[in-house]
Structure 1
Amino acid sequence: MDESPSAYYVHCFAHQLQLTLVSVAKENINCQWFFGQLAYLLNVLDMSCKKICMLRIAQAEYMIEALKLGEIESGQGLNQEMGLARPGDTRWGSHYRTVMHVMHLYPSIKKVIFRVGKEGKGAEALGAQTMLRVFNSFEFVFLLHLMNEIFGYTNDLCNALQKREQDIVNAMDLLEFTKVELDVLRKDAGWEEFLKNVTSFCEKHKVKVVDMDGKYIPIQRSAKFYRGATNYHRFHADMFLGVIDRQLVELNNRFDEVNTELLRCMAAFNPANSFSAFDIEKLVKLARFYPDDFDLEEINQLRFQLRLYIANVRNDENFKNLKSLAELSMMIVKRDMVSRYGIVYKLLKLVLVLPVATASVERIFSAMNTIKNKLRSKMGQNFLNNCLTTFIEREFFLQVKDEDIIKYFQAMKERKVIL
């Protein structure tokens, strides 16, 4: 970036979204308290075989009772067994999955904690008794629903950003829709509906609902820090609005206008569906992002060259079934159209070298932990690259026959025995 200001790069969008959620969790003191209690809950349950069995039995008993009362429906694919995994900052959707499972397993978890606190010994029983007070509080339930709401709105966007064949335009639209939905949620109607759902959940599971006009009493924190605070101000302003506003700020900061506009313009080159996304104005605007590569004369000429280019490729049968920019560039070279549309091809090359890091790039970094383990900690760079290539592109290498590999190594040099 120091050597070339127009050398754009786009960090993994799916990872960016996860970082916005984690950032909110770490910087908002209420969310920090909630996730701290969630981690403590997982420590108390510790997911030993005994605790897993207890949770499974408690959930089965709850499901049977709920089916009798008609609160839930039975059928194929419904009421699947759920576990409680620890959320990770770089595991997409892990926070949402944990929060969602805790909400669905709430009565069963409550029952298990009570049993551990009553039948356990020493620190185990003490931890369960302490956790039960927090778990059975309105504040914990409120933040549990709030996190589920926030993660629920961003989950579709998170999944869209992880697709291998990523539709950039669709991802950007989903981003805008997510911002709109979060903005709608923070309004009075959204607050009233949200509070109604939380209250209904508390009444169902026998959790004491606080009076919004009453004095705020913190859980596991000194009341000195909240003197004069009312429940309405704490739950509505500090928690509800505070978390949503922080989330919107993080989304705007992480997904800045330059990167977003760059991707929207780049998508106009997409050859899918007979170049339906083609837009001359966007491609000219994309060229202006690279002032060191296009002079004023080339930018003016680009508009006319794009018109000739699109008329040509739409009438050429060889371009009809193309799906990616890489296929488009190869077909332009194959059809000897590089010299004819030189400016267009140069812009296409800049788009191709723009490392739009999808989730697959993050998966490659994760793969290094598998390849470079304790037994291979001193491998050289070249050997590491070769191992990573075969591991990451294993779908391709699995197509190679073992006999061909043996023959290749046999022919490299003379050997005493046949491999």
Structure 2
Amino acid sequence: HRWPRFLPDGRHFLYIAITHNTARDPNNGIYFASLDGKENRLLMQSDSQADYSSGHLLFLRNATLMAETFNPKTGSLEGTPSPIADQVLLDPSTWRAALSATEGGLLAYVSGGIAANQFTWYDRSGKSIGLAGEKVLNVNHVRISPDGLKIAADPGESLFDIWIYDVARNVSTRLTFGPAAGTAPVWSPDGKWIAFNHLQDGYLNIYRKPTSGMGQTELLIEGDEKNVQNWPSDWSPDGKSLLYAVGDLIGAAQLWELPLTGNDRKPRHLMPSGFITRDARYSPDGRWIGYASNESGKFEIYAVPSSGIGGKWQISTGGGQQPLWRRDGKELFYLSSDDKLMSVPLKLNADSVQADAPRALFSVANSIAPVSGLVAPYDVTPDGKRFVVITGEQGKSFPINLVTNWTAALGK
């Protein structure tokens, strides 16, 4: 449920409700509701929010802005939809159209159509050095393979699926196939498997599938009433365990470790607390885990022994999330709270971590916003010299249009 919009009486409102279960769920749409709970019903199917202005409901059909006569007291549509503007900017990842209107007939919207993303390569200075693959829609995670030759990501217009992009051959191959969303890919250390989550019967379960595409998908973690959402985070360097987070990654998240070998496959709860812990990554030698936690009141990056025995070291300062290790373990990267890619030189001792002061490498303000663990917008090559970042479509302008007395154009 997102993007509520009060109607003139202050007692009724509009909102959009979306389910991830299927690509075209009949319950996805714009709803009319009241504060006393007596009204809550579907007005129309839609993949983006609605607005109200001058006796009309404003909504998108594909990327075209439509207006239809609407009674805000009864919540009834009374007429035929009319097009108002073409190619209105739409972010399908948040079901948000870039539009706003007033009761007095003032309309503002951003042109641009459905927002696309790109995988952009950067060097350590922040210089753009090329693109990987074609433009995609609605991608939230990107992972470079252990050999640095492939990229796994989860694009999708209505639902996500896992795709593998071969950097050298410039070829994309689909790994997963609906009918529900598959997202959050994680490579095995030998590059032969990808773990991901997939919605099944209302639960986000974790599966793995061979990267060759051959063979069956294998269930690793099955969700239940206590653990509804399960998100793979990292595969251990020895291939014997998987880090994952349980929770919605926004208001709640706890880290767990799943054994992948042996007879005892019972998950282990890491650092149980009332705080959010997520974005976990094993160090290249497997002896440490870097992760993000809000225990200080804001998200910071910490490192703890993967054995669960020992101390804890704070790596970031001033806020941080999405930690990544360089392959040799001598550097850790993370995203700062002001959208900068940070670097921290490290020395990993037998029982401690020595971290230098963080320094900014470059701004990633054009990336998709890493506002929660739901998004992993960058990855680093094994040598730490190049970064792939999920960015907005480059070279495209997004002008803001302001229309006064927009209803005058109706019926023309």
Please indicate, yes or no, whether the TM-score normalized by the shorter chain is above 0.5: no
TM-score (ref. length: structure 2): 0.23
Flag the structure with more relative contact order, 1 or 2, with Cα contacts below 8 A and sequence separation at least 6: 1
Higher helix proportion: 1
Greater Rg over alpha carbons, structure: 1
TM-score (ref. length: structure 1): 0.23
Higher strand proportion: 2
